Amino acid sequence: MVRENAYVPYSGFKVGAAIRSASGAIHVGCNVENAAYPEGTCAEAGAIAAMVAAGDLRIAEVAVIADSPHPVPPCGGCRQKLAEFGDPDVPVVMYNTQGEMLRTTIRDLLPGGFSVDYMLRS
Ligand code: THU
């Protein structure tokens, strides 16, 4: 559904994401591209922004869908963004429009990731 609203004049690759937050609310996002290519945003980033705008800060589950030969995993930057708001064991479920599904976790998507813990000084 939200995937259909993706703005993708450059890649033609529509992605949709949904986040269930700790409150139980569902927050959705789609990719929004830009003529200045690096300014484009991923579906996951849109869903995170919607969650934060709604006043939720903790992710309970993530779903991503695209029309792709295989279920599409979040990009590296989105893995870092998801880790900011989700515990390592949060499920990330990836789908394609043919109904294939792959399940993983934030931990498995971003082993050894940077976090606020590394900024703590003794
Ligand atoms: N994209 C996402 O929105 N999420 C992903 O998980 C992978 C890639 C978008 C970014 C860009 O608009 C298009 O897909 C092609 O990379």
Per-residue pLDDT tens over the stretch 52-109: 999 999 999 999 999 999 999 999 999 999 999 999 999 999 999 999 999 999 999 9
- Which protein residue has the closest C-alpha to ligand 1 atom 1? 42
Across the chain, the runs of DSSP E, i.e. the strands, are 15-21, 26-30, 59-66, 91-96, 101-105
**Are the beta carbons of 82 and 48 closer than 8 angstroms?**
yes
pTM above 0.85, yes or no: yes
Question: Best of 14, 28, 37, 42 to mutate for ligand 1, by most ligand atoms within 8 A of CB?
Answer: 42
| CATH tag, 2-119 | 3.40.140.10
- Which protein residue has the closest C-alpha to ligand 1 atom 14? 13
pLDDT bucket at 122, cuts 50 / 70 / 90: confident
